[in-house]
Protein backbone atom coordinates (compact mmCIF):
# COMPACT_ATOMS: atom_id res chain seq x y z
CA UNK A 1 0.00 0.00 0.00
CA UNK A 2 1.32 3.43 -0.96
CA UNK A 3 0.58 6.98 0.08
CA UNK A 4 -2.01 6.98 -2.72
CA UNK A 5 -4.24 5.05 -0.32
CA UNK A 6 -4.92 8.36 1.44
CA UNK A 7 -6.28 9.88 -1.79
CA UNK A 8 -10.02 10.29 -2.33
CA UNK A 9 -9.99 10.80 -6.10
CA UNK A 10 -13.34 10.06 -7.72
CA UNK A 11 -15.17 9.88 -4.39
CA UNK A 12 -17.94 12.06 -3.03
CA UNK A 13 -18.38 13.00 0.63
CA UNK A 14 -21.35 14.41 2.53
CA UNK A 15 -20.23 16.37 5.60
CA UNK A 16 -22.82 17.59 8.09
CA UNK A 17 -21.93 20.59 10.21
CA UNK A 18 -19.59 21.54 7.39
CA UNK A 19 -19.81 25.30 7.76
CA UNK A 20 -17.17 25.76 10.48
CA UNK A 21 -14.70 24.11 12.83
CA UNK A 22 -13.91 20.43 12.41
CA UNK A 23 -16.44 19.90 9.62
CA UNK A 24 -15.03 22.72 7.52
CA UNK A 25 -11.45 21.53 8.09
CA UNK A 26 -12.48 18.03 6.98
CA UNK A 27 -14.11 19.42 3.84
CA UNK A 28 -10.98 21.37 2.94
CA UNK A 29 -8.69 18.38 3.38
CA UNK A 30 -11.01 15.95 1.61
CA UNK A 31 -11.08 18.32 -1.36
CA UNK A 32 -7.30 18.50 -1.38
CA UNK A 33 -7.27 14.70 -1.37
CA UNK A 34 -9.42 14.65 -4.51
CA UNK A 35 -12.97 14.25 -3.21
CA UNK A 36 -16.07 16.14 -4.23
CA UNK A 37 -17.79 17.46 -1.12
CA UNK A 38 -21.35 18.32 -0.22
CA UNK A 39 -21.38 20.47 2.91
CA UNK A 40 -24.48 20.88 5.00
CA UNK A 41 -25.49 23.01 7.96
CA UNK A 42 -28.36 25.24 9.04
CA UNK A 43 -26.65 28.18 7.32
CA UNK A 44 -23.45 29.02 5.50
CA UNK A 45 -20.60 31.01 6.98
CA UNK A 46 -18.22 33.26 5.03
CA UNK A 47 -15.58 30.55 5.43
CA UNK A 48 -17.76 27.77 4.05
CA UNK A 49 -19.05 29.99 1.26
CA UNK A 50 -15.50 30.68 0.13
CA UNK A 51 -14.99 26.92 -0.10
CA UNK A 52 -18.30 26.00 -1.72
CA UNK A 53 -17.77 28.58 -4.46
CA UNK A 54 -14.97 26.34 -5.74
CA UNK A 55 -15.39 23.52 -8.24
CA UNK A 56 -16.05 20.18 -6.58
CA UNK A 57 -17.90 21.67 -3.61
CA UNK A 58 -21.57 22.35 -2.93
CA UNK A 59 -23.73 23.36 0.01
CA UNK A 60 -27.20 22.26 1.07
CA UNK A 61 -28.92 24.12 3.88
CA UNK A 62 -30.81 22.04 6.43
CA UNK A 63 -31.42 21.42 10.11
CA UNK A 64 -30.57 17.76 10.65
CA UNK A 65 -33.00 17.55 13.57
CA UNK A 66 -35.84 17.92 11.05
CA UNK A 67 -36.83 14.30 10.21
CA UNK A 68 -37.19 15.18 6.52
CA UNK A 69 -33.73 16.69 6.13
CA UNK A 70 -31.44 13.60 6.24
CA UNK A 71 -33.06 12.03 3.16
CA UNK A 72 -32.96 15.42 1.43
CA UNK A 73 -29.23 15.87 2.11
CA UNK A 74 -28.40 12.46 0.70
CA UNK A 75 -30.58 13.02 -2.36
CA UNK A 76 -29.03 16.45 -2.95
CA UNK A 77 -25.57 14.83 -2.90
CA UNK A 78 -26.65 12.18 -5.38
CA UNK A 79 -28.32 14.76 -7.63
CA UNK A 80 -25.25 17.00 -7.66
CA UNK A 81 -22.42 14.47 -7.80
CA UNK A 82 -24.05 11.18 -8.85
CA UNK A 83 -22.79 9.09 -5.96
CA UNK A 84 -22.12 9.03 -2.21
CA UNK A 85 -18.97 7.30 -1.01
CA UNK A 86 -18.27 8.94 2.36
CA UNK A 87 -20.49 10.29 5.09
CA UNK A 88 -19.05 12.41 7.91
CA UNK A 89 -21.66 12.79 10.66
CA UNK A 90 -20.20 15.90 12.27
CA UNK A 91 -23.10 18.20 13.23
CA UNK A 92 -23.45 18.48 17.00
CA UNK A 93 -24.30 20.72 19.94
CA UNK A 94 -23.21 20.89 23.58
CA UNK A 95 -25.02 21.93 26.72
CA UNK A 96 -24.38 21.39 30.40
CA UNK A 97 -25.56 21.99 33.92
CA UNK A 98 -26.75 20.11 36.98
CA UNK A 99 -28.33 16.78 36.05
CA UNK A 100 -31.33 17.35 38.33
CA UNK A 101 -32.10 20.68 36.62
CA UNK A 102 -31.64 19.50 33.03
CA UNK A 103 -35.13 19.81 31.56
CA UNK A 104 -36.67 17.79 28.74
CA UNK A 105 -36.37 20.56 26.16
CA UNK A 106 -32.59 20.78 26.61
CA UNK A 107 -32.33 16.99 26.72
CA UNK A 108 -34.26 16.67 23.45
CA UNK A 109 -32.03 19.26 21.75
CA UNK A 110 -28.91 17.32 22.68
CA UNK A 111 -30.23 13.89 21.75
CA UNK A 112 -32.00 15.01 18.57
CA UNK A 113 -28.86 16.68 17.25
CA UNK A 114 -26.10 14.39 18.53
CA UNK A 115 -27.73 10.96 18.24
CA UNK A 116 -31.05 10.85 16.40
CA UNK A 117 -29.92 13.05 13.50
CA UNK A 118 -26.69 11.09 12.82
CA UNK A 119 -28.73 7.88 12.98
CA UNK A 120 -31.14 9.23 10.36
CA UNK A 121 -28.43 10.63 8.07
CA UNK A 122 -26.51 7.34 8.17
CA UNK A 123 -29.74 5.41 7.58
CA UNK A 124 -30.37 7.50 4.46
CA UNK A 125 -26.78 7.10 3.24
CA UNK A 126 -26.59 3.32 3.54
CA UNK A 127 -28.87 2.35 0.59
CA UNK A 128 -26.92 4.24 -2.11
CA UNK A 129 -23.66 2.97 -0.63
CA UNK A 130 -24.97 -0.60 -0.80
CA UNK A 131 -26.17 -0.06 -4.36
CA UNK A 132 -22.73 1.10 -5.52
CA UNK A 133 -20.87 -1.65 -3.64
CA UNK A 134 -19.54 0.10 -0.55
CA UNK A 135 -18.63 3.25 1.29
CA UNK A 136 -17.24 4.70 4.50
CA UNK A 137 -18.96 6.44 7.40
CA UNK A 138 -17.15 8.53 9.99
CA UNK A 139 -19.22 9.50 13.02
CA UNK A 140 -17.82 12.32 15.14
CA UNK A 141 -18.00 11.30 18.79
CA UNK A 142 -16.00 12.78 21.65
CA UNK A 143 -13.77 11.96 24.57
CA UNK A 144 -16.88 12.92 26.53
CA UNK A 145 -18.25 9.53 25.52
CA UNK A 146 -15.56 7.96 27.72
CA UNK A 147 -15.12 10.27 30.70
CA UNK A 148 -16.80 12.73 33.04
CA UNK A 149 -15.41 16.08 31.95
CA UNK A 150 -14.28 18.65 34.45
CA UNK A 151 -15.10 21.22 35.63
CA UNK A 152 -18.24 21.35 33.48
CA UNK A 153 -21.28 19.12 34.15
CA UNK A 154 -22.79 17.64 30.97
CA UNK A 155 -24.44 14.26 31.48
CA UNK A 156 -26.70 14.55 28.43
CA UNK A 157 -23.89 15.51 26.06
CA UNK A 158 -21.60 12.76 27.34
CA UNK A 159 -24.38 10.20 27.04
CA UNK A 160 -25.13 11.25 23.45
CA UNK A 161 -21.50 10.79 22.45
CA UNK A 162 -21.21 7.43 24.17
CA UNK A 163 -24.27 6.38 22.19
CA UNK A 164 -22.60 7.49 18.94
CA UNK A 165 -19.61 5.29 19.73
CA UNK A 166 -21.88 2.30 20.32
CA UNK A 167 -23.92 3.05 17.21
CA UNK A 168 -20.66 3.02 15.27
CA UNK A 169 -19.68 -0.38 16.67
CA UNK A 170 -22.98 -2.04 15.84
CA UNK A 171 -23.29 -0.46 12.39
CA UNK A 172 -19.77 -1.66 11.59
CA UNK A 173 -20.71 -5.20 12.59
CA UNK A 174 -23.84 -5.13 10.45
CA UNK A 175 -22.27 -3.78 7.25
CA UNK A 176 -18.69 -5.06 7.31
CA UNK A 177 -19.57 -7.93 4.99
CA UNK A 178 -21.32 -5.59 2.55
CA UNK A 179 -18.47 -3.21 1.83
CA UNK A 180 -19.31 -0.35 4.20
CA UNK A 181 -16.82 0.60 6.88
CA UNK A 182 -18.09 2.55 9.89
CA UNK A 183 -15.74 4.25 12.32
CA UNK A 184 -15.82 7.12 14.79
CA UNK A 185 -13.48 9.93 15.72
CA UNK A 186 -13.41 11.10 19.36
CA UNK A 187 -11.79 14.54 19.60
CA UNK A 188 -10.53 16.08 22.80
CA UNK A 189 -10.54 19.83 23.41
CA UNK A 190 -10.27 21.43 19.96
CA UNK A 191 -10.20 25.13 19.06
CA UNK A 192 -13.73 25.41 17.71
CA UNK A 193 -16.75 27.58 18.44
CA UNK A 194 -18.14 24.83 20.70
CA UNK A 195 -15.13 25.10 23.01
CA UNK A 196 -14.22 28.77 22.64
CA UNK A 197 -16.20 29.88 25.73
CA UNK A 198 -14.29 27.51 27.98
CA UNK A 199 -10.99 28.35 26.37
CA UNK A 200 -11.63 32.04 26.98
CA UNK A 201 -12.23 31.35 30.68
CA UNK A 202 -8.82 31.32 32.37
CA UNK A 203 -9.82 28.93 35.16
CA UNK A 204 -11.61 26.42 32.92
CA UNK A 205 -8.97 26.64 30.23
CA UNK A 206 -6.29 25.82 32.80
CA UNK A 207 -8.16 22.74 33.99
CA UNK A 208 -8.62 21.51 30.44
CA UNK A 209 -5.00 22.11 29.51
CA UNK A 210 -3.64 20.65 32.75
CA UNK A 211 -5.77 17.54 32.18
CA UNK A 212 -4.25 17.05 28.71
CA UNK A 213 -0.80 15.42 28.97
CA UNK A 214 0.37 17.13 25.78
CA UNK A 215 -0.41 20.45 27.47
CA UNK A 216 -2.27 22.10 24.63
CA UNK A 217 -5.53 22.18 22.71
CA UNK A 218 -6.00 20.51 19.35
CA UNK A 219 -6.70 22.21 16.04
CA UNK A 220 -9.53 21.36 13.61
CA UNK A 221 -6.95 20.48 10.96
CA UNK A 222 -5.54 17.77 13.22
CA UNK A 223 -8.99 16.19 13.41
CA UNK A 224 -9.32 16.43 9.64
CA UNK A 225 -6.23 14.28 9.10
CA UNK A 226 -7.71 11.63 11.40
CA UNK A 227 -10.99 11.70 9.48
CA UNK A 228 -9.11 11.40 6.19
CA UNK A 229 -7.41 8.24 7.41
CA UNK A 230 -10.71 6.68 8.50
CA UNK A 231 -12.49 7.63 5.27
CA UNK A 232 -9.71 6.56 2.90
CA UNK A 233 -8.47 3.21 1.68
CA UNK A 234 -5.52 3.63 4.07
CA UNK A 235 -7.99 2.33 6.68
CA UNK A 236 -9.26 -0.49 4.46
CA UNK A 237 -9.09 -3.05 7.31
CA UNK A 238 -10.43 -0.68 9.97
CA UNK A 239 -14.09 -0.78 10.94
CA UNK A 240 -15.90 -0.48 14.25
CA UNK A 241 -13.07 1.59 15.71
CA UNK A 242 -13.26 4.85 17.63
CA UNK A 243 -10.08 6.84 17.07
CA UNK A 244 -9.35 9.03 20.09
CA UNK A 245 -7.46 12.25 19.25
CA UNK A 246 -7.17 14.13 22.53
CA UNK A 247 -3.54 14.84 23.38
CA UNK A 248 -3.71 12.05 25.95
CA UNK A 249 -6.67 13.38 27.96
CA UNK A 250 -8.28 10.00 28.63
CA UNK A 251 -5.04 8.27 29.58
CA UNK A 252 -5.52 9.07 33.25
3-state secondary structure of 57: strand
- Identify the CA nearest to 36 among candidates 11, 16, 71: 11
In 112-154, where does DSSP find H-type helix? 117-132
Please give the Cα distance from 154 to 99 (Å, whole number). 8
Going by the DSSP 8-state scheme, the letter that residue 10 receives in this structure is T
CB-count burial class (<10 Å; 0-12, 13-18, 19+) for 142: buried
Please give the Cα distance from 11 to 129 (Å, whole number). 12
Catalytic residue flag (residue 157):
yes
57, 146, 157, 249: the catalytic one is 157
Task: List C-alpha distances in Å: 158 to 47, 226, 244.
Answer: 29, 21, 15
- Label the pairing between strands 180-187 and 135-140: parallel
Please give the Cα distance from 164 to 191 (Å, whole number). 22
Catalytic residues: 157
Amino acid sequence: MSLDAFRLDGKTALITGGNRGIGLAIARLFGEAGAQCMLSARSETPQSRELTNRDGYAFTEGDVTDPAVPERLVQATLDRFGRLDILVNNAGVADGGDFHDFDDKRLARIMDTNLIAPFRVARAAIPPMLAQGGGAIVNIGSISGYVANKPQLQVAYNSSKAAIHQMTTVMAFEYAGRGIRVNALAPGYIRTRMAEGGMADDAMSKVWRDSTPMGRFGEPEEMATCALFLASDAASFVTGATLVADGGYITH
